[in-house]
């Protein structure tokens, strides 16, 4: 046989579903590696910096401060806009909603989660979720719109109450930010502003259950100082259009109801393997599922040495993405897969302006202004893109300096 017929070494085709923290980290690790062809699939053309979604929801940041083009984030990778809905494991193809198929040698599912209402009646119809920019804009529109509607006499003043369901970091940050937005609107709506309020409902015994008890009580105290009414140890039994029913029989009237109590991985991937609570796919300790398929981030479940599932946070997804990138190359090179070891980065939540709780893996805990500054620096550092960083810093600086002077952003359409 002549040399000319020798098949050129085929590039390894890696397809990554999801342009979140895990998917982007995985793609970046693979870029520039020889003979690797990376395609990233997402329904949105931007990487969303979801830790700041609550600030878009509460009129602190404009929406595109926290969106960064996928193509720019992973230059050298292919970007395919679309919604992945199935895997043809035999043909090794990913199937998109529009019928398109993408062949892969390795498939990385970094699909994240969506809201999970645990079957509580009325959540889907009456509560707002906060998983996408569109939903964050919807919340902002609802928060600001109720002021307009109450001012115009179309709604009763009770509509100025916002109920946030779920006392994890998202619910705590959101409740604090809503309370501060309400204070920010007090000048433009002086005749009705005193009717406004925020209720935060957590079914468990304390806020921030993944944090220490000390951090929980700090968060509780800080939220109370902002005027948030906190309900712990009480569940939600039903959500109506203008009210939330609690398990102890109390009824909380509300103009805006936000669901931050639970998430689940998209159901469509559950058929690929064994799942745990929240549709999380059980992976082996290398993050491998089977047949060239890997699952990283919130959609996967791996337990640490103590048997606890790794938390659904960005550092787990990013470390998982980089780990899987390396393992894909090892498998190609005929090497064994290595075990994934999560390096704990600690956790943090901010509560309004100038307050936060931070827990470092060495046991150090910060509260108050130092915690808030740490939170702020870390979020700016991890934002993708110089423009977004500059823009967020300028917006935060202005919000901070002009507090009580300038009006909040009030674009509602």
> Which residues does the annotation mark as catalytic?
173
What is the closest distance, in whole angstroms, from the C-beta atom of residue 410 to a second copy in the complex?
4
Nearer to a second copy, 280 or 409 (CB): 409
**Least separation, in Å, of the C-beta of 29 and a second copy?**
21
Of 189 and 294, nearer to a second copy (C-beta) is 189
For residues 63 and 50, give the distance between their C-alpha atoms in angstroms, rounded to a whole number.
Answer: 11
Going by C-alpha positions, the residue among 229, 147, 153, 231 that lies closest to residue 194 is: 147
* Residue whose tokens read 């926290």: 66
Of 37 and 63, which CB lies nearer to a second copy in the complex structure?
Answer: 63
Decide: 356 and 366 in contact? Cβ < 8 Å.
yes
Which of 167, 38, 10 lies closest to 102 in space, CA to CA? 38
Q: Is 341:304 a contact under the CB 8 Å cutoff?
A: no
Where along the sequence are the contacts to a second copy (CB under 8 A)? 44-46, 62-65, 67-69, 71-72, 75, 80-82, 133-134, 144, 148, 152, 187-189, 385-387, 390-391, 394-395, 397-399, 402, 406-407, 409-413
How near is the Cβ of 148 to a second copy at its closest, in Å? 5
Which residue's CB is nearer to a second copy, number 82 or number 197? 82
Report, in Å, the least distance between residue 345 CB and a second copy: 27
Q: CA-CA distance, 406 to 395, in Å (whole number)?
A: 12
Q: Which long-range contacts (CB under 8 A, 24 or more apart) does 278-287 make?
A: 278/113, 278/116, 280/309, 281/109, 285/339, 285/340, 286/323, 286/327, 286/337, 286/338, 286/339, 286/340, 287/320, 287/323, 287/324, 287/327, 287/340
Ramachandran class of 196: left when φ > 0, alpha when ψ lies in -120 to 50, beta otherwise = beta
186/335 with CB nearer a second copy: 186
Q: Distance (Å, rounded) from C-alpha 9 to C-alpha 202? A: 56
Cβ closer to a second copy: 62 or 273? 62
Alpha-carbon gap, residue 370 to 357, rounded angstroms:
9
* Smallest separation (angstroms) from a second copy to the CB of 390: 5
CB of 100 to a second copy, least distance (A): 8
Beta bridge partners of 88: 93
Please say whether the beta carbons of 295 and 271 come within 8 A: no
Distance CA 285, CA 189 (A): 55
Residues across the chain: 413
Closer CB to a second copy, 370 or 406, in the complex = 406
CA atoms of 148 and 129, how far apart (whole Å): 22
Nearer to a second copy, 148 or 274 (CB): 148
Can you read off the two tokens belonging to residue 196?
A: 């406004």
Return the exposure string of 338-357: e unless at least 16 CB atoms fall within 10 Å of the residue's CB, then b. Answer: eebeeebebbbbbbbbebbb
* CB of residue 22 to a second copy, shortest distance in Å: 21
Class of residue 57 by CB neighbours under 10 A (exposed 0-12, middle 13-18, buried 19+):
buried
> Nearest approach, Cβ of 219 to a second copy (angstroms)?
29
């Amino acid at each position: 046989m002549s040399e000319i017929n020798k098949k050129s070494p085929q590039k390894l085709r890696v397809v990554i579903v999801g342009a979140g923290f895990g998917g982007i980290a995985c793609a970046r690790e693979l870029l520039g590696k020889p003979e690797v062809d990376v395609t990233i699939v997402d329904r949105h053309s931007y990487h969303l910096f979801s830790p700041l979604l609550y600030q878009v929801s509460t009129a602190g940041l404009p929406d595109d401060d926290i969106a960064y083009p996928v193509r720019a984030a992973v230059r050298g990778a292919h970007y395919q806009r679309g919604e992945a809905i199935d895997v043809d494991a035999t043909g090794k193809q990913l199937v998109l909603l529009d019928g398109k198929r993408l062949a892969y040698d390795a498939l990385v599912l970094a699909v994240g989660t969506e809201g999970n209402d645990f079957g509580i009646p009325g959540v889907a119809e009456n509560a707002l979720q906060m998983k996408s920019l569109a939903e964050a804009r919807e919340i902002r529109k609802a928060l600001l719109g109720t002021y307009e509607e109450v001012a115009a006499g179309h709604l009763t003043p009770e509509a100025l109450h916002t109920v946030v369901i779920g006392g994890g970091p998202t619910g705590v940050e959101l409740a604090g930010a809503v309370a501060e937005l309400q204070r920010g609107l007090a000048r433009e709506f002086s005749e009705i502003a005193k009717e406004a309020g925020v209720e935060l409902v957590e079914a468990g015994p304390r806020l921030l259950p993944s944090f220490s008890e000390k951090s929980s009580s700090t968060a509780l105290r800080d939220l109370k100082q902002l005027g948030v009414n906190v309900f712990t140890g009480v569940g939600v039994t039903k959500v109506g259009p203008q009210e939330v029913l609690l398990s102890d029989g109390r009824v909380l009237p509300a103009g805006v109801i936000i669901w931050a109590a639970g998430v689940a991985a998209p159901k469509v991937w559950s058929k690929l393997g064994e799942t745990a609570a929240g549709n999380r796919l059980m992976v082996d300790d290398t993050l491998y599922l089977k047949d060239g398929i890997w699952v990283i981030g919130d959609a996967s479940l791996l337990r640490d040495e103590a048997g606890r599932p790794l938390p659904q946070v960005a550092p787990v997804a990013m470390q998982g993405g980089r780990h899987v990138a390396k393992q894909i190359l090892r498998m190609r090179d005929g090497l064994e897969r290595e075990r994934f070891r999560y390096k704990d980065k600690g956790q943090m939540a901010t509560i309004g302006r100038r307050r936060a709780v931070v827990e470092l893996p060495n046991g150090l805990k910060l509260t108050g202004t130092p915690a808030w500054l740490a939170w702020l620096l870390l979020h700016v550092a991890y934002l993708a893109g110089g423009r977004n960083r500059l823009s967020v810093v300028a917006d935060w600086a202005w919000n901070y300096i002009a507090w009580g002077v300038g009006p909040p952003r009030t674009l509602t359409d």
